[in-house]
Amino acid sequence: MTRLFWRAAALACVAIPTMAFAQPIGEAKILSGQAVIETDSGYVFVTGPERQMGTLLRMPEADDVVQYEEEWAKQLARVQKKYPSKLASWESKKAAAEQTKAKVPDRPIEPTAENFSIEPIEARNAVTFGYTSIYNKSATPRSFSYLTKMKPGRYVYHGPLWTGPEGSMGTCYCMGSVAFDVKPGVITNIGNFFAVAASAGQSAAAAVDMAAVNYDLPASLQALPHVQAEFHASGKFDNFFRGTVGRMPAVAGVLAYDRDKVIDAKTGQMAAGMMAANAPPRTAADAVTTTDAGKAGEEEVTEQVSTQP
Amino acid sequence: MKYILLAGALCAFPMSAGAQAIKAPEPARQFTEAEVAALERPDTRFDETPEIALGYDKYFYFHRADTDFSTAFHDISECDALSSGSNFYGGGDAGMTSYYAMQYGVAGAAGGALGSLFADAVFGSAERRKIRRNNVRQCMEYKGYSRYGMERERWQAFHFEEGLGRVKDEKRTGFLMKQALVASGPKPETKELLP
């Protein structure tokens, strides 16, 4: 177990550079002007009555897929190059084991295009926010808020789960969730929606109390460009981080369920999922809305930034 | 208009390379009547005692009316995959991802499968077994299956527990098939438990 732990630790260190870029921002940095709303970055604001954590998965776009395939091919070539020496080493160990009547180790699996996998493309663009990295907090009313800078795109709410190189913990909304666009140059305001959703529990009949959802922003953000998140139903995805299995409670007008079928309440049809194997990646054509919104945000931000020291 | 543009762009997208890196999900397996008939039905009858009933949080099985064997097998397999962090909806193979990460030190393979190792090292196998049980239970609740308690030895005849290791695929599939047989079979006569 100890050997497994340290091997995993070493691999995790290698993995850190592949984790999606995300940066928590504190209120002091906004107030002092050290942090500004950049026109090519997205920002997500989340609040709630208690500290919280959550993970967002950016849906793969066409260039992500190209990059992923290139890396997969490179890694496959690498392990295929290593295979002959692995096999020779195993044959040597096998011979030694047979002589001493010890257990023969498993023969190494030959890497092929059919059996070789690297981490899921959907999991590599994960952004985790919370728990201690707050934007601000207040005692009355009690609130803890989070502002996170991230790459623009469409994000699926993975659920109230923490993931990082040290491990993962929390709930995966693998069996149904919501997606929303994070547009460049503006703050996408989630309000306390995630916190209200979490308080609804995980029973099959659970529903988000939309009357309890608010999108109040701290005074320090009110003058900055912001939009309220528009939620869309999002279908099932794998439990990438081995969290507790769950789903986003039903959301009136957005997300419904027929047993475990995830229904887009806007259309009455089954919701599209985020898995790249089922749904082709978003493309430049799909990013038109994002770019337009970014231009609008850029103008507003320029105006705001001009007042910053 | 946006979706017309999207559809056009998707047609132009080179999916052939992605067919290997991003693998298609396994199609739902359809069993013939002969295949189902060849399975040995697990014995689910037992006399309940207060002591046995205390174990129902651990030892339980599922049933849903008007459900055929292939559907039940697909449902149970989906819940098993979600509960163990395996791939189900396509993209890759979580088991092979872990294999290549650990055996070959592939940096690109160090993802979710790896992340849980740290929590496992801290909380241990018992906690992982408990999480798996609860996960299967939650998933099957969403699917509308009812839960019934069972005596430990009979339960062990067609179930497995999974902690830090992974039950081998052949053994796993055999157990899941037996669970599907019970889930799609006659309605249990014992008391239905809370989900």
- Within-domain flag for B168: yes
The whole-number pLDDT of residue A290 equals: 37
What would the DSSP string read from start to end of A56-107? Answer: EEEPPBHHHHHHHHHHHHHHHHHHHHHHHHHHHHHHHHHHHHHHHTPPPPPP
- Within-domain flag for B17: no
- Within-domain flag for B62: yes
- Within-domain flag for B40: yes
**Partner-chain contact B89 A166, CB within 8 Å:** no
Note whether ipTM > 0.90 here. Answer: no
Give the Cα separation of A173 and A159 in Å (integer): 5
**Partner-chain contact B115 A71, CB within 8 Å:** no
**Partner-chain contact A240 B99, CB within 8 Å:** no
Structural domain count of chain B: 1
Interface test with A, best of B20, B23, B74, B125 (most A CBs within 10 A): B20
**Partner-chain contact A242 B93, CB within 8 Å:** no
- Within-domain flag for B113: no
N- to C-terminal Cα separation, chain A: 54
Chain B's closest residue to A78, CA to CA, is B106
Give the Cα separation of B139 and A239 in Å (integer): 12
**Partner-chain contact B18 A164, CB within 8 Å:** no
Cβ neighbors of A300 (< 8 A, separation 6 or more) are: A185, A186, A225
Say which residue the tokens 């989340």 belong to. A46
Between chain A and chain B, the number of residue pairs with CB atoms below 8 A apart is 237
The whole-number pLDDT of residue A168 equals: 85
Q: Closest Cα of chain A to B8: distance in Å?
A: 9
- Within-domain flag for B143: yes
Say which residue the tokens 């088991």 belong to. B95
Q: Are strands A244-245 and A167-172 parallel, antiparallel or unpaired?
A: parallel
Which residue(s) pair with A24 in the sheet?
Answer: A148
Range of the domain at B45: 33-88+125-193
**Partner-chain contact B107 A75, CB within 8 Å:** yes
Sign of CA dihedral A203, B173, B39, B69: positive
**Partner-chain contact A12 B114, CB within 8 Å:** yes
Average pLDDT over residues B19-42: 91
Q: Closest Cα of chain A to B66: distance in Å?
A: 14
pLDDT tens across B75-131, in order? 999 999 999 888 899 887 778 888 888 888 775 544 444 445 555 666 778 888 898
Q: pLDDT band at residue A178, thresholds of 50, 70 and 90?
A: very high
Task: Assess A283–B contact: CB distance below 8 Å, yes or no.
Answer: yes
Average pLDDT over residues A230-250: 95
- Chain A hits for B145, Cβ within 8 Å: none
Nearest to A158 by CA among A117, A125, A188: A125
The whole-number pLDDT of residue B10 equals: 36
- Within-domain flag for B149: yes
pLDDT tens across B122-165, in order? 677 888 889 899 999 999 999 999 999 999 999 999 998 887 77
Nearest to A137 by CA among A198, A52, A35, A227: A52
